[in-house]
Every structure is written in structure tokens, then in C-alpha cells.
């Protein structure tokens, strides 16, 4: 008997690194394996921020938003994390999309280190840092999803 493989489900998620001045945006390939930075949105007003994100959501057929949540080093939610949650709640409602949060501690630092490794100045490439941080956030989410789907498949096989 020839077994037919089930087509892999298509994943379209948008990773967001929210900041006071900019929002880093990342997307993933259709297989959900690789996250890449797409753009950096210079924040102006909530309405304009939403409109720019909406365009990307429509172009990429986004199904879920993955928002970096800046926990404090002790694991608590500070002022900035509450600001992110407030913005995200409004954004999810405006776009009618579900949201998942990922702990984004140190993603901006990691993004800066990546720039330094590329011999680029972090102070001159703030937008690129935000974009890379968004990609790190989304990649972390994709990796967690893939690991949990593999472990549930392994559990079914036994």
C-alpha cells in the first residue's frame, strides 16, 4: 500500500517587536521554518501603525500575530510590558487576529550583537535592530511550535 503524505499546514505568522518609536516586523516562510525581518515601522499614531501592519497582514495572509513581551529580568511584567499588552490588545481587535506572546528578554541585545558581527554600527541601524529582534522573536515562537508538534507526533506513534 502506498501512503500519501499529508500536505504540511501552511503557517503565516507576523512577529512584532514593539517600541516607543518603532515596531520591528518579521515574517516567516510558508513552512514555518525560517523567520526573517520584513520592515521597521516608524510609529506615528495608533491608526497609522495599524494601517501599515494591516497592509502587511493582507499581503502575507497572516493568521496570527506573535508579539515580543519584555519581561523584567526577574520574570515580572513591568511598565513597558503593560504598554505592549495594551497596544497588542487594541491591535488584535483592530485586525481581528489572535496573538501569542513570546518572552523577548535580550532579543534587542542579540540583534545588536548580530549587527556588530556584521561590522555594522548599532547606533546607525536602529531600525535594522528592531527588524532583527522581531525575527528573533518569531523564530523562537516557530521553534517552540515545531518542537511541540514533534513531541505530540512522537507521543501518537508510541
Predicted confidence band of residue 151 (pLDDT cuts 50, 70, 90): low
Q: Which class for 36: exposed (0-12), middle (13-18), buried (19 or more C-beta within 10 A)?
A: middle
- Mean pLDDT value across residues 139-156: 73
Residues composing the chain: 158
At 47-62, the pLDDT tens digits run: 999 999 999 999 999 9
Q: Is the pLDDT of residue 4 over 90?
A: no
Rg (CA), the chain: 17
Pairing of strands 22-28, 99-103: unpaired
- Asked if residue 128 lies in contact with residue 113, where contact means CB atoms within 8 angstroms, the answer is no
Q: For residue 69, tell me if it sits in a domain.
A: yes
Domain residues for the domain of 68 are: 13-152
Q: For residue 157, tell me if it sits in a domain.
A: no
pTM reported for the whole predicted model: 0.81
When divided into structural domains, the chain yields a total of 1
Q: For residue 5, tell me if it sits in a domain.
A: no
Question: Which CATH number do you get for residue 64?
Answer: 3.30.420.140
DSSP state of 123: G
- Asked if residue 121 lies in contact with residue 95, where contact means CB atoms within 8 angstroms, the answer is no
Amino acid at each position: 500500500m502506498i501512503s500519501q503524505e499529508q500536505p504540511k499546514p501552511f503557517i503565516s505568522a507576523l512577529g512584532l517587536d514593539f517600541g516607543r518609536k518603532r515596531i520591528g516586523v518579521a515574517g516567516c516562510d510558508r513552512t514555518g521554518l525560517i523567520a526573517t525581518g520584513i520592515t521597521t515601522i516608524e510609529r506615528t499614531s495608533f491608526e497609522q501603525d495599524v494601517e501599515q501592519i494591516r497592509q502587511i497582514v493582507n499581503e502575507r495572509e497572516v493568521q496570527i500575530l506573535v508579539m515580543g513581551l519584555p519581561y523584567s529580568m526577574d520574570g515580572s511584567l513591568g511598565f513597558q510590558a503593560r504598554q505592549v499588552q495594551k497596544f497588542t490588545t487594541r491591535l488584535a481587535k483592530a485586525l481581528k487576529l489572535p496573538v501569542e506572546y513570546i518572552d523577548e528578554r535580550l532579543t534587542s541585545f542579540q540583534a545588536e550583537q548580530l549587527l556588530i558581527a556584521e561590522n555594522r554600527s548599532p547606533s546607525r541601524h536602529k531600525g535594522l535592530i528592531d527588524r532583527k529582534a522581531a525575527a528573533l522573536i518569531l523564530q523562537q515562537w516557530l521553534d517552540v511550535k515545531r518542537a511541540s508538534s514533534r513531541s505530540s507526533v512522537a507521543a501518537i506513534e508510541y
